[in-house]
Structure 1
């Protein structure tokens, strides 16, 4: 009976008026569903035209009626053509097939987004991930394949429609997206009152971060007669064009105003910038290189929602090979830096750690007139270390202290664990500045195990620093990483 099956079934147990009711109910429900489908499909075409995924003409709005007339007419023509040229059974089965494939792709997209964007804020939870999305993919594809057994023509039409979409994507959508991504200007707002040579870049995500990083960045910039570059990156999702990110301008202004407020208290000029990009980390790196920043300070809350990143996707990307000197700060309760501790064993980042500690000590002296204390710390392992080991530590610290024109105290302690020894001493200080673990050329170390453990355990603010190693090392590391990733892909294919 095909589409009249429900009517024939109703004739067996319902009176005549009941059969008529079923007929009229089916017609009205069909018209309602058809109306919703037409409106939804036309709006999809309108949105894709506005986002340059389809020709921009589909995103046009009628000047008088304010409706997407081009998208509505185009959708109507496609629906009429399919209804005239194809049997109703094929059209219905084809629509069901496309719905099933779209549901399968939605589940697949969920898995890929959570892997590629682990730190993205989400408005929902996904229990038993990725089991449920995988189950959804299997069920939808199973139903879609089953349709082929009784309506193969729907599959042929559906595959033809998908092939047409691939052609449009390759010939138009991808090229339009690449042209937009290549636009040289992605800066939504920039204001610079007093240009200075020395710049401290502070990437800001919220007002609390702006307050803490603003205080710290202004303190270091003041010593060098420099400026603070307060950067807020608007992450534009792939569903929107880069230019549509302008709607987020208002959200970034209060963040920059808080950074300006903190810098003004230290009498330090502020260079503010709001930038648009798909990737926050990439925008931060590009800004540091374009503006030739001397120091970048980033805030770390002490945790990350991703199991694939140590400090989060943004800090991890920047810290692998920083474009300038980098400091990652784990903030605790705000204290004046009267007593600053610099643990060291003589690594390559020690010089940067000592310099930043001295900068903050001098800034504190300029502001208050008090002399801040900077202490170099060496931890001997184990706790019952020999006197020779302690003497070696004292000699190392004295050699480092002799290279600076600021009075540095030296201290050697013994402990069974380096981190435990530093944590115990940090309780008597207001700030800890530690250099990142030294790495070989092809290592992928971010900050190292000791600095990361210290930042999690210490009761005071910890600043982990990593020096800039120059462009030659950066390009060698980048080329090596590319060859390494290609090798991993080949092994996975085997």
Structure 2
């Protein structure tokens, strides 16, 4: 989040809520690597370098360390800027900043083409394994058609703004790891039994059968496996504790990716003779090598790898399409691309123009280029982008010495200089085998330069001062009062929730508590958190300002905030934890969807909030409450609920009825004892009250019948709330959904 702020004069603060933990960020980086890449790229590497592929991967790991240290330093100094584009724009003179964004955009687009082709290959492998494809049928046509179809599906998903949760990404990546490990183990056993056609020993005995140049070509070609940590760098503004987690995720992603690739390369070397890999009637095509090895090593292996590629596409395509549209969206917002790229859809809040144009580029590359040229073009783009980042880490040391760097690379400037030299060698090496890929890269750069010099990007970039923060969300500042021991949070979403804030203010006055009124702007995962301006946040700010005034009835001052997040429930739960909230007051409309207790968001908050929780259904609540029904049982949190009922009664001069119901005579006596305890609370505060203890065949129906004619029903939770299928307890949940009277439910977990 940018450091700038603007005072609107009315105590409402807009906050970006970080959603992603370390594990989610690692999975975002690993998803593309473990998706189509590992299943398709290993074969091409063996075709180019033979048994030297293991050496290639080790050398690539060494080369990427130089760039990774640059990313680690820059992400620790600029955690919210969102990746290489803005670092280069800040660190290098024009037009390098524009070109970095331009190449990053194309790089993410074309790597998405690689992934969707992987989806088509996965389907084709499964169909061929089940003899569903005629021998004379063009398999490449099927692959291209399926690739375009899945690309269109993901474009629609991103356009509509459907969110992919961090948990689903973790699950997909874990399944992918399981498939890869299964293949590695099965192939290793297959080799140990002497069944393989390859020669693992050649990795050591003959590491350069095609000469030294093939090692460099293969290094450049397979560099695509490190594309994932550029995506990680773009997650800084959504990552929790980014100064630590982004560098950690970067290193772990690199180490895990390299280790898994080496293992897959070794077993493929043992199962398949690398001399049989190539283009020809009797040869194995590079993209089919892993599937071929799996088919030999274990029953159903081709289907397993096909499923892995399909699943990997799900993990990879959404991430890379998201990244490509995000870069072009940022450039549109900076006015280095047409302003339409930087606009959000009025209804869906997605960068729809950026998504559609990125999708058109992806589909075009998918249809026009063979898979090897797509992979090579991707590698060239990221090699050049990483080169610019290494240059930027050096220039920013001198241009921005004022910025605190939580991680400083050692041996500066030797490491970035070695990184630049290494990347240049690898990019140049690709010219030997992949001239078409280089022509595509140069053509894209030429189009970019024309756009820069003739569209107006040059003028835009040159008018931005180096010290200027990226334009983003309008924040307002609040006057910090002395922090109090007891804190109350009231999330609001509608103007008709005035009674909710009034109740929270009533508790705040008695507890001498700090009251915070908040609303959440929930954005699709494709939209950066800092993309909103005052026009988008203004209605939410005004909502909070209006509802904050409801606390004036109790002469309580309150803070207001607008939380910008990709998950409403996560942002509220994080606020509860970070602000050490004691009481969370939630509003409920009284309706729910099938299979839910109180609603998707409410269910998550009730079950996971580590504080006291009140759910208040205020529909039909009178301005003055005169008759309050407290539903009593010894096992419920009703003592605390009675305390809240007393607050209402004292404010409005109301009477309280303590009601207990039991299905047996033996329990009635116990109910009467507990009801008397609650009555004592009322007497202590001089509240008019009465007790009703009844025996009935249906406790639920007795409560519903008694509730008629009251202004408010108050209930406490039972210990059943700890079970995930209950919010406050089996009976409480049923009564809450059935009763027509306004109801306040209390769950006590205060430590």
Same fold by TM-score greater than 0.5: yes
| C-alpha separation in 2, matches of 1:53 and 1:97 | 31
What are the within-5 Å matches in structure 2 for residues 468-483 of structure 1? Answer: 468-470=749-751
What are the within-5 Å matches in structure 2 for residues 26-45 of structure 1? Answer: none
Give the structure 2 partner of residue 394 of structure 1.
672
Task: Choose from 548, 556, 561 the match for 1:260.
Answer: 548
CA spacing shift, 1:194–1:59, aligned 2, 3 Å: closer
Give the structure 1 partner of residue 369 of structure 2.
none
Q: RMSD of the alignment, in Å?
A: 4.4
SS in structure 1 at match of 2:560: strand
- Which has the higher relative contact order, 1 or 2, with Cα contacts under 8 A spaced 6 or more apart? 2
Give the structure 2 partner of residue 489 of structure 1.
none
| C-alpha separation in 2, matches of 1:192 and 1:301 | 33
What are the within-5 Å matches in structure 2 for residues 273-284 of structure 1? Answer: 273-284=561-572
Deviations, residues 283-309 of structure 1 (Å, cap 9, x unaligned): 21222233333321101112234x453
Give the structure 2 partner of residue 363 of structure 1.
651
- The answer to whether structure 1 residue 339 and structure 2 residue 397 are counterparts is no
- The answer to whether structure 1 residue 208 and structure 2 residue 496 are counterparts is yes
Kept in 1: contact 2:721–2:729 (CA 8 A): no
Give the structure 1 partner of residue 230 of structure 2.
172
Give the structure 2 partner of residue 423 of structure 1.
704
For residue 70 of structure 1, report the CA deviation from its aligned partner.
6.6
| C-alpha separation in 2, matches of 1:453 and 1:440 | 13
Kept in 1: contact 2:518–2:563 (CA 8 A): yes
For residue 467 of structure 1, report the CA deviation from its aligned partner.
0.7
For residue 99 of structure 1, report the CA deviation from its aligned partner.
1.9
For residue 178 of structure 1, report the CA deviation from its aligned partner.
5.1
| C-alpha separation in 2, matches of 1:223 and 1:189 | 29
Deviations, residues 405-436 of structure 1 (Å, cap 9, x unaligned): 23453211333322211111112321111012
Task: Choose from 364, 377, 386 the match for 2:659.
Answer: 377
SS in structure 1 at match of 2:488: strand
Task: Choose from 276, 299, 302 the match for 2:590.
Answer: 302
For residue 277 of structure 1, report the CA deviation from its aligned partner.
2.1
Kept in 2: contact 1:379–1:418 (CA 8 A): yes
| C-alpha separation in 2, matches of 1:297 and 1:75 | 44
- The answer to whether structure 1 residue 249 and structure 2 residue 537 are counterparts is yes
What are the within-5 Å matches in structure 2 for residues 229-248 of structure 1? Answer: 229-247=516-534, 248=536
Structure with the higher helix share, 1 or 2 = 2
| C-alpha separation in 2, matches of 1:300 and 1:238 | 26
| C-alpha separation in 1, matches of 2:524 and 2:160 | 17
Kept in 2: contact 1:379–1:421 (CA 8 A): yes
- The answer to whether structure 1 residue 223 and structure 2 residue 510 are counterparts is yes
Task: Choose from 306, 310, 318 the match for 2:605.
Answer: 318
CA spacing shift, 1:70–1:378, aligned 2, 3 Å: same
Give the gaps of 5 or more residues in structure 1.
Answer: 1-49, 80-88, 118-161, 365-370, 471-494
| C-alpha separation in 2, matches of 1:208 and 1:164 | 56
SS in structure 2 at match of 1:410: strand
For residue 439 of structure 1, report the CA deviation from its aligned partner.
2.8
Aligned positions, number: 354
Structure with the higher strand share, 1 or 2 = 1
Q: Is 234-243 or 459-468 further displaced after alignment?
A: 234-243
Deviations, residues 13-68 of structure 1 (Å, cap 9, x unaligned): xxxxxxxxxxxxxxxxxxxxxxxxxxxxxxxxxxxxx99477448999xx999xx7
Give the structure 2 partner of residue 368 of structure 1.
none
Kept in 2: contact 1:188–1:273 (CA 8 A): no
For residue 362 of structure 1, report the CA deviation from its aligned partner.
2.3
Q: Is 430-439 or 99-108 further displaced after alignment?
A: 99-108
For residue 102 of structure 1, report the CA deviation from its aligned partner.
0.7
